[in-house]
């Protein structure tokens, strides 16, 4: 008998897909947001910063609940998607993706924001004196110098998405091949008393998380020199 059954492989594939897409979209969303937070002197900086950090402290069920309401047929997002003929997003992969992005947002924004702040104004001023427009300086100076922060953000977002459970359960349900990820799969195995299957998946998650944290600390040590 195979160690992992088809359902497990399906869950693993779905988890990796979800985590990769979430990470990719988060980098695109979080980088400008982090840049704005690191540069602005607007009075909105503090409230927006707090809002971005909120998913870090809220119970996933609270977050999942509001997302569910938002995406449901009565919610504004749900009504929009219905009007566009897409149906509702709850209990779909897309809904899960949106939930994951919101849930992991602070894990992406904070390392990038700190990296931008650590650069300080000097390199960007130097770029301006060398005829680089602000956009040019952002891509050729700020982004390369913030590379360690971007890497940390990617790894954390990916790992955090793989590890999410509460939000998935609230807005994704547990539909095989659609929204059933590894964490909900384990939950299902335990419910059904299939401990052997649960062991393999759970052990795999422990090993995966350990490798992630180890590579992160190794990265910090080698990448740090670059920032100084």
Q: Which residue's CB is nearer to another protein, number 6 or number 136?
A: 136
Residue 122 touches another protein, criterion: CB under 8 A: yes
Figure out which of the listed residues 87, 134, 177, 203 binds another protein, where binding follows CB under 8 A: 134
Stretch that binds another protein, among 20-28, 67-75, 101-109, 121-129 (CB under 8 A): 121-129
Q: Residue 90 is encoded by which pair of tokens? A: 């709850």
Q: Which residue's CB is nearer to another protein, number 26 or number 127?
A: 127
Q: Which residue's CB is nearer to another protein, number 144 or number 203?
A: 144
Figure out which of the listed residues 33, 101, 127, 162 binds another protein, where binding follows CB under 8 A: 127
How many amino acids of this chain bind another protein (CB under 8 A)? Answer: 23
Q: DSSP secondary structure string, 45-92?
A: HHHHHHHHHHHHHS-HHHHHHHHHHHHSTTSHHHHHHHHTT----TTS
- Residue 16 contacts by C-beta under 8 Å, 6 or more apart in sequence? 162
Residues 66 and 72: their CA atoms lie apart, in Å, by: 10
Give yes or no for a contact between 115 and 146, defined as CB atoms under 8 angstroms apart: yes
Figure out which of the listed residues 28, 46, 56, 130 binds another protein, where binding follows CB under 8 A: 130
Residue the block writes with tokens 């985590």: 19
Figure out which of the listed residues 17, 136, 191, 194 binds another protein, where binding follows CB under 8 A: 136
């Amino acid at each position: 008998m195979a160690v992992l059954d088809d359902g497990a492989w399906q869950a693993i594939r779905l988890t990796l897909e979800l985590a990769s897409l979430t990470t990719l979209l988060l980098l695109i969303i979080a980088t400008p947001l982090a840049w704005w937070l690191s540069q602005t002197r607007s009075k909105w900086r503090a409230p927006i910063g707090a809002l971005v950090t909120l998913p870090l402290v809220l119970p996933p069920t609270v977050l999942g609940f509001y997302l569910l309401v938002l995406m449901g047929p009565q919610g504004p997002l749900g009504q929009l998607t219905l009007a566009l003929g897409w149906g509702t997003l709850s209990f779909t992969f897309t809904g899960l993706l949106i939930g994951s992005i919101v849930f992991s947002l602070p894990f992406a924004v904070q390392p990038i924001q700190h990296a931008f702040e650590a650069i300080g104004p000097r390199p960007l001023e130097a770029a301006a004196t060398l005829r680089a427009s602000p956009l040019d300086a952002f891509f050729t100076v700020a982004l390369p110098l913030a590379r360690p922060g971007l890497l940390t953000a990617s790894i954390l977002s990916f790992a955090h998405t793989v590890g999410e459970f509460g939000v998935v359960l609230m807005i994704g349900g547990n539909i095989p091949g659609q929204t059933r990820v590894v964490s909900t799969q384990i939950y299902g195995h335990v419910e059904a008393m299939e401990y052997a299957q649960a062991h393999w998946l759970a052990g795999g998650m422990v090993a995966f998380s350990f490798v992630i944290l180890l590579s992160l600390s190794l990265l910090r040590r080698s990448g740090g020199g670059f920032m100084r």
